[in-house]
Amino acid sequence: MSDQPLIDRVIAGDARAVARAISKVEDGTAGASQLMKEIFPRTGRALVVGITGAPGAGKSTLVDRLAAFYRKQGQRVGIVAVDPSSPFSGGAILGDRIRMQALALDKDVFIRSMATRGNLGGLARGTVDAVAILDAAGYQKILVETVGVGQDEVEIVKTADVCVVVMVPGMGDDVQTMKAGIMEIGDIFVINKADREGVLRTEKELQALLTLASREDDWQMPIVKTVATENRGLEELAVAIEQSRKFQLTQSTSSERRHAVARWRILELLRDRLLEETLKTNQANEKLEALAAEVATKQRDPYSAVDELIKSGAVN
């Protein structure tokens, strides 16, 4: 069956087709590559906002409320929640269930959780492809939510047009020990739960930290205070996001950023693709299992097992 109808339906904004297309890409089924090739030229219209923060910062609520805010402006909103393979959060499943109640009845909101990657990789690739599909489907605002820990998760946020870093008051000590990395990824900082004690201290410390930042452009990273559960501060956040986006488009660093993202996407795809190619035959998989058995019983080291896999012609 050709994928043409699926692609057409995605481009027409059909939510079911979007869901199917994302599953296809996530599973790496045959045709996923062709699908993405046809999707790609249709992308680039959406504003992609990455939202990250430590566990417990209230990211999901903030994302939901921001989505609702955009909906009131008549925008179609896609939400991609990356649930890292953490045993410490009910992330995807619970998050989805709560969201179902508030947003899922709205046909102009599309919510998708990305599960863990498999043996062949794919969390980062799958997420970025899901964003592209939503973009092609005409969702104007796409919110990508990740917990800000873990390599893939941080990389994913960096592919967004605007990165929002969410914190909470009382992280005082944590702000001081934050690494320079936070200034590299954040375009906008949100202090959520800003009705809590300690908000001023957190804000001051964050301000001090941001003055130390040496960005490649002159963007003044704003600090926005929100109480997402009460819908406070959301308009300010939306304005800051819009300003950040507009600012970037005037900057030459914007094209450097796009180049770095493009390079990263190619590498992620290449990494997955090379491994898939290597393991596509039964013979290669049998060889892998046999070698794993030898390594497990210490008859062989893993490095020479890889040499052997490559040499045996399982690879190529």
* Near a copy of itself by CB under 8 A: residue from 185, 210, 213, 223: 185
Instruction: Report 52-81 residues binding a copy of itself (CB under 8 A).
Output: 53-55
Q: Cα(56)–Cα(53) distance, rounded to whole angstroms?
A: 8
Q: Cα(258)–Cα(131) distance, rounded to whole angstroms?
A: 15
Q: Cα(48)–Cα(38) distance, rounded to whole angstroms?
A: 20
CB-based burial, 64-85: b 16+ in 10 Å, e otherwise? bbbbbbbbeeebbbbbbbbbbe
Instruction: Report 253-272 residues binding a copy of itself (CB under 8 A).
Output: 255, 258-259, 261-267, 269-271
* Near a copy of itself by CB under 8 A: residue from 30, 100, 208, 293: 293
- Does residue 148 belong to the site contacting a copy of itself (CB under 8 A)? yes
Among 110, 107, 75, 117, smallest CA distance to 96 is for 110
- Does residue 27 belong to the site contacting a copy of itself (CB under 8 A)? no
- Does residue 12 belong to the site contacting a copy of itself (CB under 8 A)? no
Q: Cα(293)–Cα(300) distance, rounded to whole angstroms?
A: 9
- Does residue 149 belong to the site contacting a copy of itself (CB under 8 A)? yes
- Does residue 19 belong to the site contacting a copy of itself (CB under 8 A)? no
Instruction: Report 119-138 residues binding a copy of itself (CB under 8 A).
Output: 119, 121, 123
Q: Could you tell me which stretch among 5-13, 197-205, 223-231, 251-259 binds a copy of itself (CB under 8 A)?
A: 251-259
Our CB check for a copy of itself shows the closer of 71 and 271 to be: 271
In this structure, what token pair is assigned to residue 7? 């692609």
* Near a copy of itself by CB under 8 A: residue from 186, 199, 203, 224: 186
Give the type of residue at 165.
V
- Does residue 89 belong to the site contacting a copy of itself (CB under 8 A)? yes
- Does residue 283 belong to the site contacting a copy of itself (CB under 8 A)? no
* Near a copy of itself by CB under 8 A: residue from 1, 4, 88, 218: 88
- Does residue 33 belong to the site contacting a copy of itself (CB under 8 A)? yes
- Does residue 179 belong to the site contacting a copy of itself (CB under 8 A)? yes
* Near a copy of itself by CB under 8 A: residue from 30, 93, 208, 239: 93
Quick check: 63 and 51 in contact, CB under 8 A? yes
* Near a copy of itself by CB under 8 A: residue from 36, 49, 136, 241: 36
- Does residue 153 belong to the site contacting a copy of itself (CB under 8 A)? yes
Total residues binding a copy of itself (CB under 8 A): 84
- Does residue 292 belong to the site contacting a copy of itself (CB under 8 A)? yes
Our CB check for a copy of itself shows the closer of 154 and 234 to be: 154
